[in-house]
Amino acid sequence: MSDLEIQAGLGRSPRTSPSHRFGVAEVLAGLFGLFLITAALFPALVAPGDPLGIDPLSAFQTPSPAHWFGTDESGRDIYTRVSHGTGSSLLIGTLATMIGLGLGLVLGTLAGMLGPVVDFTVNRFLEVLFAFPGLLLALLFILIFGPGVATATVAVGLATAPGYARIIRGQLILVRSSAFVEAATVLGRSPGRILVRHVLPNALAPLFVLGTLGIGQAIVWASALSYLGLGAAPPAAEWGAMLAAGRTYIGSAWWMSFFPGLFIVLTAVSATALGRGIERRMRHA
């Protein structure tokens, strides 16, 4: 009996996937995501100006047809800066999510596959990490290794790793106890082959969804660190750094903080909407 037959015939009953239309939220999230990807890869296409170019005579202009998001204290166009900052913000969020998922995968696999002693040890370690709020854990890492974009990216990744590890561990334990894995064991498949051909492909399928959801969270956390002066620093065209620069003028030039903050929120909401949509479709696949 082949590995495919084990999974299809013994572990799972075939299901018919109902047809699902994309909801309004998913369509809007997809369109906004498309804009973000375009802005990240081709910033000059959506905002041809120079994000660092100053024009003191145009300082503190309110949003208008000439400057859609207004200008800052140096006359820099906020729309241009927000658009050009998309690439750095998405890169930080993506790298932080990859670091968190990678560490979570290692810890979760150790806990879920190497027996009760290792499982107990890893779980106690994860509980210690869970005792610290994620952002506080990131701050502790930055306190040790110093501020900066690279440090903030790694710090956010480390802070999100325990949550990913707990989810991956649960998935591995669930799949390991399924009927098709038991059938493969009875048929004499080696533990390594069972792990590679049956357990990991089925347990790690939700990682794509976790990654999509995690990017939004990572961008929010990285922006918060930049806002506190621990990540990207002004005048960098990065959303958190722009928030930090605008807080001084929040009473007289609200648009300096509003539009970078709006993009952070919309990115997190869009990533969540897309992740939930993918999760629903995978569940009914």
What tokens does 211 get? 């990654």
As a whole number of angstroms, the distance between CA 282 and CA 16 comes to 12
Token pair belonging to 218: 């990572």
Predicted structure pTM score: 0.81
- In this structure, whether the domain defined by 35-283 belongs to CATH 3.90.470.20 is answered with no
Q: What's the distance, CA 72 to chain centroid?
A: 29
Q: Residue 112 in contact with residue 176, Cβ under 8 Å?
A: yes
**Considering only CA atoms, which of 164, 168, 144 is closest in space to residue 230?**
144
Give bridge partners of residue 71 from the DSSP assignment: 77
Residue 8 in tokens: 């299809």
Place of tokens 């492909």: 201
* Conformational region of residue 23, where left means phi above 0, alpha means psi within -120 to 50, and beta covers everything else: beta
Amino acid 282: pLDDT: 66
Compute the distance between CA of residue 161 and CA of residue 172 in angstroms, rounded to an integer: 16
R_g over Cα of the chain: 23
pLDDT at 8 over 60: no
pLDDT-derived band at 170, boundaries 50, 70, 90: confident
Q: Is 84 exposed, middle or buried (0-12, 13-18, 19+ CB in 10 A)?
A: buried
* Average confidence (pLDDT) over 175-190: 73
pLDDT at residue 86, as a whole number: 92
**What are the boundaries of each domain within the chain?**
35-283
Among residues 219, 215, 211, 193, the alpha carbon closest in space to that of 105 is found at: 211
Half-sphere exposure of 193 (CA within 13 A, CB side): 12
Average pLDDT in the chain: 82
Residue 271 pLDDT > 80: yes
Tell me the residue type at 3.
D
Give per-residue pLDDT as tens, 211-260.
888 888 889 888 888 888 888 877 888 898 898 888 889 888 999 999 99
Tens of pLDDT, residues 128-157: 888 878 878 888 888 888 888 889 899 999
If pLDDT is split at 50, 70 and 90, which confidence band does 25 have? Answer: confident
With CA atoms as reference, report the closest residue to 255 among 44, 73, 85: 73
| Distance in angstroms (rounded) separating the CA atoms of residues 179 and 175 | 9
